[in-house]
Amino acid sequence: MPDAVLFVKHVIGPVVVVAPLLLLALLGLTSLFGRPLSERATSRACQAAIAAGLAAAVAVLVLMLATGERHVPVDFGNWVSIEHQHGGGPAHYHFAVKFVFDRLSVPFVILTFILCGTIAAFTTKYLHREPGYNRFFVLYALFLVGMVTAALAGTIETLFTGWEMVGLSSALLVAFFQERPAPARNGLRVWVVYRVSDAALLVAAVVMHHLTGEGDFAALLGVDRAHPWPEGHTTVSTGQAFGVGLLLLVAAAGKSALVPFSGWLPRAMEGPTPSSAVFYGALSVHLGAYLLLRVSPLLVVSPWLGVAVVALGLSTALFAYLAGSVQTDIKSALSFASLAQVGVIVAEVGAGCWYEFFWYVALVHLLGHASLRTLQFVRAPSLLQDYRTLENAIGARLPRTPGPWARLAPPGVRAWFYRLAVERGYFDALLAEYVVGPFLDLFRRFDRLERRWTDFLAGQDTPAADAAKARPHARPRRIEELP
Amino acid sequence: MNPFSPPWLELAVLVPLLGAACVGWMRQPLVAFRWGLAFTGTSLACALVACLGYFAGHGAAAPGWGLLPPAHGRPALALDELSAPLLPVVALLHFLTALATARTKMRRFSFAWSLASESIRLAVFGCREPWLLVGFLIVGTVPPLVELVNRGRSVRVYALHMGLFVVLLPLGWAFVDTDGGHQDQTAWASLPLLAAVLIRSGAFPLHCWLTDWFENASFGNALLFVTPLTGVYAAVRLVLPVAPDWVLQGLGLFSLFTAVYAAGMALVQTEGRRFFAYLFLSHSSVVLVGLEMHTSISLTGALCLWFSVVLSLGGFGLTLRALEARFGRLSLVGYRGLYEHSPALAVCFLVTGLASVGFPGTLGYVATELLVDGCVEAGPHVGAAVVLAAALNGIAVLRAYFLLFTGTRHVSTVSLNMGLRERIAVLTLTALILGGGLVPQPNVTSRSLAADAVLRDRKARVSEPDAEPDDDLPPAVK
């Protein structure tokens, strides 16, 4: 093994991971002990961590290009391992912490550092003297750690760790403006979808562990030094690949807001613009697509999985195009535009099942789209000013030309599609009416029954029952309406 | 002199008992608090030294030091791999609960009864002689009854359930054949034991005493009575070693249903205490599910999760208690907007709550992974149900966080931030949760050894009629 590769494994590679971790430890611990850093110190800490991480990631890329090495694992060993009973035997459970630098992870982690660095610089000004400045950066650091961990993960458990961190930071940032109930409701909504996604990924991780005896992507997907991504060949059967792949598809759908989970994406725009830009416009919304790219060798084994991925991607793109066409605020319009592209990227990943070339297309599409969308999001607050400048320059209102559908489709059809788009495909309503509503109703009935039963046993009303009687509100049906 | 020679374990049990007798005479709440804190702190120190002594290879006190008469030629109280780390954790929980008691609540929180309960609880966790353990478990149900009577609340729900427990537990154990080499026990032994453990753990449908207890007792005592998971300890000591497979399957089935049911119930609660009670119920049931699988991985996962639940839900409960001390009973009906007043409480609420559902970097993360891994091995539906319960609990925790800490800012003319004692208490637990989460191997190794010891004991007694207990069993499980 060349010295340069050893240098990556033992020196530069760990820096990529450790730099964001140190940032999180610094910001998190000072906040926990009630001594948050000043704005200036926070900003400098972010700059230092991002610069160190980015420099190390670029150095890894340069060294890999120079040596021709396309797969460099950085193994931190077993975080947890359990030996056989009475000891001595090989480990029969282990939780390995392993990161992999390859053609998929290196561009994505560089993108993560660049976009997070840009957003940190933007936010330093944007949230200057805001009461939640420190809170934003703690969550930002958590997000950065999660993204880097998920991007470089060499085992499914490591990926899951990053995945959860991204989810929590995103949900809490949606509720950033916490003096209003709407952001909190939307934050909870995002969290609910993320928990479904997390649950699917956790089950997939455990199933993969059982199929291959370990959660290492090298064992499951057959990616190693001789067969770097995307040339891996998995040894699992078609049925197993389809089963695990479907679980991963649910996880990806939740994280990337694919149908039917798309409803959370425009709600996430309640958060501050920088978090909308970096989380929902650029990075976390692509994490589902990235997961599918990472497990792409499974698609080769199971063409039906490829069909499912393509179908889900295309239907998401179509839905997002329709819904995005009728949005009246810039952040919602951008979020649906972003979703449409994510749908196309997912479809490209699915198409890679037949033509491997599409995986590269998807990766390049993802990188370009994330960069463009970040720019659009951070420019969004000044869009009206831009419009005004343009209109002043031309001396008239900007022209509004009708779209092609105005000429091609009959009015009735257009009205139907319009309603469908305004209601965002009725996905939210259907989930609320037929999944969340009945679920909550059922448990509220159980709750009332239990209170009656306890009161009967006690021979008197319990304090909570008294309090409930004193508050005769109508019960909310949907989870986001939960007071 | 060997520093581990004195009977630290027995001292850990007797010091709070002595403290209860002394503090009971004190009429000034502040004086009672200070003395109570001193006694419970001393007990914690003794428990800690006893634990260190065990891991340093000094499992028992030196001859002549014993304070309690031996039972069947063996010391009445002794630590083993299972109980050694649990004992100081239980003592720590008592100490921190006493420490974090707000001045406004000192009059209502009975330090004397709390110390008496601590003594009994430590005796339970330091005891492995079945009949003695049964006795301690029965005695342990008395202080809560006294608490309810003293507060003038209805005792019927608690008394009905605990009455059943008190009858069924000794009845079941009386019929158990403990000699070993028997693959089955009579229904007279199995059914009462199963029912007793289910009642004490609060499994559906015998769980209503737990919500009633939380609603009627002081939050501190309610927390201390349930959080150490005494019912699970009874299951590990009395049921797991001797119960036939069908009993464990029954236990697992009830627990699995309770885990999901309680998680769903936690999601719709409109009052803070009931929310906590259901959250706790779901977690304790998940631990019981892991026991039922009785495989090395699932049992290790369950024991790790037990440790995590005690610390994380202990910290979560203390945070809720601190909130209650400021704002009264916590309603989960509207957004309270408490963040700006007490950001430290908000952070602790989030950290301890997320730790309880196994968020990465916390003590519960690896435990949940291990448990789910063990459960999937037993059956995909079991693994899926455990994952579902964890997902619902996670949603319930964040929902409560949003309801309590977001919304229009609560207006107050006085500072409502965390006091120093509360901060120390919750930060201590947070440090343990995060420290144990970042370096999980020592805990996992210890719990794995405990799981192997329990399984070997069970194997010797149940699975192989002619087998003798292994020679390499730790002394405490022989």
What pLDDT is stored for residue B467 in this prediction? 47
Q: Is B407 on the interface with A (CB under 8 A)?
A: yes
Please tell me which of the candidates B215, B372, B427 has its beta carbon nearest to residue A202: B372
Instruction: Please report residues of B whose CB lies closer than 8 A to that of A80.
Output: 366, 370, 440-441, 444
ipTM for the predicted complex comes to 0.90
Contacts of A88 (CB under 8 A, 6+ apart): none
* Alpha-carbon span A365 to A374, nearest angstrom: 14
* Alpha-carbon span B399 to A185, nearest angstrom: 9
Are the Cβ atoms of A32 and B408 closer than 8 angstroms? no
* Alpha-carbon span A324 to A340, nearest angstrom: 8
User: b vs e for B76-110, b when ≥16 Cβ sit within 10 Å of the residue's Cβ?
Assistant: bbbbbbbbbbbbbbbbbbbbbbbbbbbeebbeebb
Are the Cβ atoms of A443 and B160 closer than 8 angstroms? no
* Other beta carbons less than 10 A from residue A35's beta carbon: 8
Please tell me which of the candidates B347, B398, B452 has its beta carbon nearest to residue A191: B398
- Pick from A249-253, B76-80, B124-128: least confident: B76-80
Q: Flag whether pLDDT at A153 surpasses 70.
A: yes
What pLDDT is stored for residue A62 in this prediction? 94
CA angle A424, A271, A157 (to 5 degrees): 85
CA distance A76 to chain B (A): 13
Are the Cβ atoms of B403 and A483 closer than 8 angstroms? yes
What pLDDT is stored for residue B35 in this prediction? 92
What 3 state SS string does B107-122 have?
CCCCHHHHHHHHHHHH
- Tens-place pLDDT, residues A312-369: 999 999 999 999 988 888 888 899 999 999 999 999 999 998 888 999 999 999 999 9
Mutate to test the interface with B, among A33, A454, A480 (most CBs of B within 10 A): A454
Size of chain B in residues: 478
* Alpha-carbon span B44 to B186, nearest angstrom: 41
* Other beta carbons less than 10 A from residue A301's beta carbon: 21
Q: Is B394 on the interface with A (CB under 8 A)?
A: yes
pTM: predicted TM-score of the whole model, two decimal places? 0.91
* Alpha-carbon span A308 to A316, nearest angstrom: 12
- Tens-place pLDDT, residues B100-123: 888 877 777 788 889 999 999 999
A321, with CB counted inside 10 A (0-12, 13-18, 19+), is middle
Instruction: Please report residues of B whose CB lies closer than 8 A to that of A471.
Output: 270, 331, 333
Are the Cβ atoms of A468 and B377 closer than 8 angstroms? no
- Tens-place pLDDT, residues B38-83: 999 999 999 999 999 888 876 554 444 555 666 666 777 888 888 8
DSSP 3-state of A132: coil
Q: Where are the alpha helices (DSSP H) in A8-155?
A: 13-32, 39-67, 105-126, 133-152
* Alpha-carbon span B275 to B354, nearest angstrom: 15
What pLDDT is stored for residue B177 in this prediction? 73
Are the Cβ atoms of A206 and B383 closer than 8 angstroms? yes
Report the mean per-residue pLDDT for chain B.
86
Question: Which chain A residue's Cα is nearest to B384?
Answer: A203
Residue B24 in contact with residue B119, Cβ under 8 Å?
no
pLDDT band of residue A473 (cuts 50, 70, 90) is very low
Are the Cβ atoms of A195 and B373 closer than 8 angstroms? no
Question: Which chain A residue's Cα is nearest to B454?
Answer: A85
Q: Flag whether pLDDT at B328 surpasses 90.
A: no
User: Encoding tokens for residue A378?
Assistant: 């951070």
CA angle B413, A32, B370 (to 5 degrees): 130
In the predicted model, what is the mean pLDDT of residues A422-442?
Answer: 90
Phi, psi values for residue A36, rounded to 5°: -65, 155
Q: Is B402 on the interface with A (CB under 8 A)?
A: yes
Question: Which chain B residue's Cα is nearest to A211?
Answer: B377
What 3 state SS string does B310-349 have?
HHHHHHHHHHHHHHHHHHCCCECCCCCCCCCCCHHHHHHH
Instruction: Please report residues of A whose CB lies closer than 8 A to that of B211.
Output: 450, 454
CA distance A396 to chain B (A): 43
Are the Cβ atoms of A184 and B212 closer than 8 angstroms? no
Contacts of B176 (CB under 8 A, 6+ apart): B185, B189, B193, B242
Question: Which chain A residue's Cα is nearest to B205?
Answer: A450
Q: Amino acid identity of B102? A: A
Please tell me which of the candidates A175, A446, A479 has its beta carbon nearest to residue B265: A446
Q: Is B332 on the interface with A (CB under 8 A)?
A: yes
* Alpha-carbon span A28 to A139, nearest angstrom: 9
Are the Cβ atoms of B157 and A458 closer than 8 angstroms? yes
Q: Flag whether pLDDT at A88 surpasses 80.
A: no
DSSP 3-state of A458: helix
What pLDDT is stored for residue B325 in this prediction? 87
Q: Is B22 on the interface with A (CB under 8 A)?
A: no
Instruction: Please report residues of A whose CB lies closer than 8 A to that of B360.
Output: 160-161, 164-165
DSSP state of A329: S
Q: Is B405 on the interface with A (CB under 8 A)?
A: yes
DSSP 3-state of A286: helix
CA distance A139 to chain B (A): 12
Are the Cβ atoms of A458 and B156 closer than 8 angstroms? yes
Residue with tokens 């037929």: A434
In the predicted model, what is the mean pLDDT of residues A378-403?
Answer: 85
DSSP 3-state of A143: helix
Please tell me which of the candidates B329, B370, B387 has its beta carbon nearest to residue A203: B387
Q: Flag whether pLDDT at B36 surpasses 80.
A: yes
Number of Cα atoms under 13 Å in the Cβ half of residue A238: 4
* Alpha-carbon span B208 to A296, nearest angstrom: 49
Q: Is B478 on the interface with A (CB under 8 A)?
A: no
Where is pLDDT greater, at B58 or B125? B125
* Other beta carbons less than 10 A from residue B14's beta carbon: 18
Are the Cβ atoms of B296 and A188 closer than 8 angstroms? no
Where is pLDDT greater, at B49 or A473? B49
Q: A with B: how many residue pairs have Cβ under 8 Å apart?
A: 180
What pLDDT is stored for residue A216 in this prediction? 83
Where is pLDDT greater, at B275 or B65? B275
Where is pLDDT greater, at B365 or B4? B365
Instruction: Please report residues of A whose CB lies closer than 8 A to that of B300.
Output: 82, 93
* Alpha-carbon span A209 to B373, nearest angstrom: 8
Instruction: Please report residues of B whose CB lies closer than 8 A to that of A86.
Output: 452, 472
- Tens-place pLDDT, residues A155-177: 888 999 999 999 999 999 999 98
Q: Amino acid identity of B204? A: F
pLDDT band of residue B27 (cuts 50, 70, 90) is confident
DSSP 3-state of B182: coil
Are the Cβ atoms of A209 and B370 closer than 8 angstroms? no
Question: Which of residues 282 through 311 in chain B touch A, CB cutoff 8 A?
Answer: 296-297, 300
Number of Cα atoms under 13 Å in the Cβ half of residue B49: 18
What pLDDT is stored for residue B1 in this prediction? 58
- Chain center to CA of A88: 41
Report the C-alpha dihedral over residues A158, A162, A167, A173, rounded to 10 degrees. 160
Where is pLDDT greater, at A462 or A255? A255
pLDDT band of residue A410 (cuts 50, 70, 90) is confident
User: Encoding tokens for residue A396?
Assistant: 């008239």
* Other beta carbons less than 10 A from residue A412's beta carbon: 8
Most confident of A279-283, B27-31, B375-379: B27-31
